[in-house]
Amino acid sequence: MNLPLISVIIPAYNREQTLKYCLDSVIRQTYTNIEVIVVDDASTDHTAYEINAYLDPRVRSIQLSTNSGAQAARNAGIQNAKGEWIAFQDSDDEWLPDKLMTQLNTAIDTGTSINYCECFIKTRENIEVFGTRGYEKKIYEQLLIQSDTTFPGLLVKKECFEVAGLLDENVPAYQEWDTSINLAKYFEFSYCSTPLFIYHLHEGETISKNTKRGLQGIEYIINKHEKEIEQYVGSIVLYHYSSYLIDEYNKIGESSDVLDKKLYWFLKKQEKKIKNCKKICIFGTSSLGLQITSKLSEDQKATLFFVDNYYTSDLFKGFPVYPLSKIKELNPDIVVLASQGSAMNMLRDLLKLGLTDRAVTSKMFESVM
């Protein structure tokens, strides 16, 4: 069997403390036909020394003259890669020994050009499975709803970038989400459910520790893909993220007139549908669902029922509760997502059933009613 060359691209900025264990984990792969390209993004510490001190001939470096960001560093690596496949690694994470072999075999067996995998997430206190959902084949619409990939988990045929283009260097955060959306528009994905790398969550260095940059990343991606999101999965996604961003910006003392206006217009698009509905399904038997029920009882709205695969209590005694699989047969006018934290997961379930056009969030519903 001809073993294709895999180019491993590692962007690095001031990673003298972590780069050696990162490189060790790559070099120890059971799949050995690799080249490793470390792109030093104009580090000011001893990162360059650590690269040059690594004696394995498969490791080479590219030095950027100015600090340009991780996406620019990855692009430099892609453009200089000799391999048929591209794998990405972050300079502070660790691969497990069979990562590349497992992913490449899966991609070849499934005939897909892109594979991604589950991982462990490690903090100072513990290590646990990250929790990716594992979508396969055509996942463009799922990714328009929510991200499910990480850069160190991606293995991509180099030719994919010739079709989808290089990475967007202007994305402030959640760069793997934007990259995966762009790739999924043209190519099918496969998935490895076994955790194949360790994602190190360092104190003070994560997106979650830089709230504003994280919010700007989400806003950038939603704006960039707004037309496609509305076309394929509905304005509910745009409303959800706009509402979320407004709330989170407020928490850090900032506001956005642009987001406020967008939220207004997304709601206006749904207003007629919500006001004229005669058959209402509430997705989720939570306390939030109970609040919505009380509101509807006051307004004497028409037929009301619930769907929930995990309903076990008698909280909604007197109302019919069905499994999600019955929802198409029941044919509701609207489906109210009775959850704050899991609304996008619920929307993914409705996407499989072709019902995203009928979905509204509880916040949308209550704003109109």
Whether the per-residue pLDDT at 284 is higher than 90: the answer is no
So what's the pLDDT on residue 266? 86
So what's the pLDDT on residue 207? 41
Instruction: Please compute Rg for the chain using Cα positions.
Output: 23
- Lowest mean pLDDT segment, chosen from 57-61, 85-89, 346-350: 346-350
Return phi, psi of residue 354, to 5°.
70, 35
| Alpha-carbon dihedral 66, 70, 75, 80, rounded to 10 degrees | 70
pLDDT tens for 189-218 read 999 999 999 999 876 554 445 889 999 999
More confident residue, 59 or 274: 59
Q: What is the mean pLDDT of the chain?
A: 91
pLDDT tens for 296-317 read 666 655 567 888 877 766 666 7
- Looking at the structure, give the CATH architecture of the domain made up of residues 277-369: 3-Layer(aba) Sandwich (3.40)
Residues 6+ apart with CB under 8 A from 154: 87, 88, 114, 115, 116, 176, 179, 180
How many whole angstroms separate alpha carbon 27 and alpha carbon 4?
Answer: 16
The structure tokens listed for 219 are 């806003």
- Lowest mean pLDDT segment, chosen from 113-117, 144-148, 188-192, 362-366: 362-366
Whether the per-residue pLDDT at 342 is higher than 90: the answer is no
More confident residue, 298 or 82: 82
The structure tokens listed for 4 are 């294709």
So what's the pLDDT on residue 77? 98
So what's the pLDDT on residue 206? 45
* Interval 225-251 mean pLDDT: 93
User: What is the 3-state secondary structure of the chain?
Assistant: CCCCCEEEEEEECCCCCCHHHHHHHHHCCCCCCEEEEEEECCCCCCHHHHHHHCCCCCEEEEECCCCCCHHHHHHHHHHHCCCCEEEECCCCCEECCCHHHHHHHHHHHHCCCEEEECCEEECCCCEEECCCCCCCECCHHHHHHCCCCCHHHEEEECHHHHHHCCCCCCCCCCHHHHHHHHHHCCCCEEEECCCCEEEECCCCCCHHHCHHHHHHHHHHHHHHCHHHHHHHCCHHHHHHHHHHHHHHHHHCCCCCHHHHHHHHHHHHHHHHHHHCCCCEEEECCCHHHHHHHHHHHHHCCCCEEEECCCCCCCCCCCCCEECHHHHHHHCCCEEEECCCCCHHHHHHHHHHCCCHHHEEEHHHHHHHC
Whether the per-residue pLDDT at 85 is higher than 80: the answer is yes
CATH (one of 3.90.580.10, 3.90.550.10, 3.30.420.40, 3.90.1560.10) for 6-201: 3.90.550.10
Return phi, psi of residue 100, to 5°.
-65, -40
Domain boundaries, the chain: 6-201, 208-267, 277-369
* Interval 67-82 mean pLDDT: 98
pLDDT tens for 8-40 read 999 999 999 999 999 999 999 999 999 999 999
The structure tokens listed for 3 are 């073993």
So what's the pLDDT on residue 312? 65
| Percent share of the chain, pLDDT over 70 | 93
Confidence tier at 290 by pLDDT (50, 70, 90): confident
The structure tokens listed for 145 are 């709803």
How many whole angstroms separate alpha carbon 339 and alpha carbon 120?
Answer: 27
Please state the pTM of the whole predicted model: 0.92
So what's the pLDDT on residue 251? 92
So what's the pLDDT on residue 1? 58
- Whether the CB-CB separation of 238 and 359 falls below 8 Å is answered with no
The structure tokens listed for 300 are 């004497």
